[in-house]
Chains A and B, each alone.
Chain A
Amino acid sequence: MIEVNNIYKSFEGNDVLKDVSGVFESGKTNLIIGQSGSGKTVLLKTIVGLHEVDKGEIIYDGRSFTGMHTKARKDIRKEMGMLFQGSALFDSKTVEENVRFPLDIFSEMSLVDRIDRANFCLKRVHLENVNHLYPAEISGGMQKRVAIARAIALNPKYLFCDEPNSGLDPRTSIVIDELIYEITKEYNITTIVNTHDMNSVMGIGEKVVFIAEGEKCWEGTKDEILKSDNSRLNDFIFASKFLKQLRAGV
C-alpha cells in the first residue's frame, strides 16, 4: 500500500502538484487519470522519488519514503518496477540484456539463473525469440512488453506504469492492460498506472484518481465513474461529441 499525503511540487514557480493525497492499495490496479499536462507524470515521478516533494509525505507500507536518506531508499527501490511513457529501454543492450539488467546489478544469482529468470519474465509477457534483438528492432508494443518484463524481473512489490498504452492500437492496448492487471493479481503488487485512455479505465480501473491542473478532483472505482456528477470529471470523460450524445441518450 502506498499513501500519498498532501504533496506539493512546483518547478520554478510553476505549481504542478497542489495538495494531492491518495491511497493506493496492494493487489489492485490503481489508475491516475487526467488531461495531458495535468501533472500525471510529475505525480508518478514524485511518488517514486525521481522528483523531490516540496511538501507532504509519501509512505510505502508504513515506511516514510520522503523522510529517508538515499541509502535507505535504495532498499525500497529494489521493490519497485517502473514502466516509462517511452519504454526507456537501454538501446545499447539487447532485449534479454535489458530484462537481465536489474538482476545483473542487484542479484547474486549465477549467469545461468539470471538468463533463466529473464526468459521467464519475457515468456510472462508473451515474448519469445526476440532475446537477441535490440529495442530499435522491435515494435512499440513489444518494447512496452520488454519494459514490463524488465520491471518485474526483481519481483517488485510496487509497479508504476506511465501511460503503458500510449501510441498503441486499441487491441494491443488491451493486451498490455490485461498483462498489467494479471501480474498485479498474481504477485499481489501495488500497481499505479497513469492513463488518459477511457478503455483502460473501464477495463482495469479498480481504483481511479482523477487529477486536473495538479489537483485531485475525484476518486472512485470504474463503476462509479460514469455516474459521477463531478462536472470536471464529466468534461474529461465525455470529451467527444459522440460520447456526449450517447450519454444524453441514456
Chain B
Amino acid sequence: MAFLYQTGRYFLFLGKVFGRPVKHRIFFKQIIDEIDDLGIGSLGIVIIISFFIGAVITLQTAYNIELPIIPKYTVGVAARDTILLEFSSTIVSLILAGKVGSHIASEIGTMRVTEQIDALDVMGINSAGYLVLPKVVAMIFINPFLVMISMGVGIGGGWLAGASTGVVPSPEFIYGIQYGFIPFYVTYSLIKSVVFGFLIASISGFWGYYTSGGALEVGRSSTRAVVVSSVQILLFNLILTQLLLA
C-alpha cells in the first residue's frame, strides 16, 4: 500500500516538476549551476573509481584465464566489454545515486523544513519545478559525459595495470580493446545513463521535497533517496538490458 501511495505521489510530483516553468533566462542559469555542482563536482570521484576498477577488472580477468591457448588480447576484449556494458553506466550511476542523490535530497529537504519552499509557494512560484527541474535536466545532460569519461579512464586504468605489471602487454591489450568492437555497446550505455540520470535527480528531489519535520527527517529522506534511486537503477538496468540487447 505504502509503495503504491508513494509511486502515485511520485508521478503527481513529476507533473508539478514539469509544470509551469520560470523565465528562460533564470532556468538556463540554474541548469549551468547544477551542471557545475552535480556534474563537474562528481568528476573526481568518477575518475578515481573508474581508474581503479578498470585496473582491477583487467588484472582479475587476466588471472582467471591463465590458459596458454587463450591469447592475451582476450583480456582486453573482456575488460572493454565489461566496462562499456555494465561498469561505466551502472556502477558509476550507483555511485552518483549516493553522492548526488543524498546531496539533492538533503538540500531540498532542508529547504522544506526551514520553510524556504513555503516562501517560494507563497510568491506563486512552482517550487517543485523551480527546484527540481534544473537538477533533472542537468543530470540527464551530464551523466552521459561522466559515463563516457568513466569508460575512457576505466580502459586506461586497465591498460596501465596490465602493461605495468606485465600481465597483459600493451600491444596485446590495445589489440584486444579494438577486437570485435560493437559501437552499439556505447550507445546502449549512454541511453542507460540518461535514464539513470533522470531517476537519480527526480527520485532524490521527490524525497527531499516531501520531507516534513526537522534535521532528523532530512537525514532520513536523504538515505531514502539513495536507497530508492539505487534500487530503481538496478531495476531499470534489467529492463533496459532486456529491451536493448535482447
Contact = CB atoms under 8 A, between A and B. Distances in A.
A88 B125 contact: no
B118 A45 contact: yes
A105 B22 contact: yes
Contacts of B12: none
A91 B114 CA distance: 10
Contact of B121 (A50, A85, A106, A160): A50
Interface in B96-155: 111, 114-116, 118-119, 121-125
Contact of A105 (B115, B121, B125): B125
Contact of A88 (B26, B116, B124): B116
A77 interface: yes
A74 interface: yes
Nearest to B19: A70
B36 to A, nearest CB: 13
Interface residues of B, number: 14
A152 to B, nearest CB: 13
A74 B124 contact: yes
B24 interface: no
Interface string B71-86: 0000000000000000
Given A104-B26, A105-B23, A105-B26, A86 B115 contact: yes
Contacts of A50: 118, 121-122
A82 B119 contact: yes
Nearest to A108: B23
A80 B115 contact: no
Nearest to A82: B122
Contact of B115 (A85, A102, A160): A85
A88 B115 contact: yes
Nearest to A98: B119
Interface string A199-238: 0000000000000000000000000000000000000000
A124 interface: no
B116 A90 contact: yes
A26 to B, nearest CB: 19
Contacts of A82: 118-119, 122
A82 B120 CA distance: 10
A168 B23 CA distance: 37
Contacts of A78: 123-124
Contact of A77 (B22, B111, B116, B124): B124
Which of B114, B118, B121, B122 is most buried by chain A, counting CB atoms within 10 A of its CB?
B122
The 10 closest A-B pairs by CB, nearest first: A77-B124, A88-B115, A74-B124, A84-B115, A88-B119, A82-B122, A88-B116, A48-B122, A50-B118, A102-B123
Given A73-B124, A77-B123, A105-B125, 10 more contacts: A49-B122, A50-B118, A50-B121, A50-B122, A74-B124, A80-B122, A84-B115, A84-B118, A88-B115, A105-B26
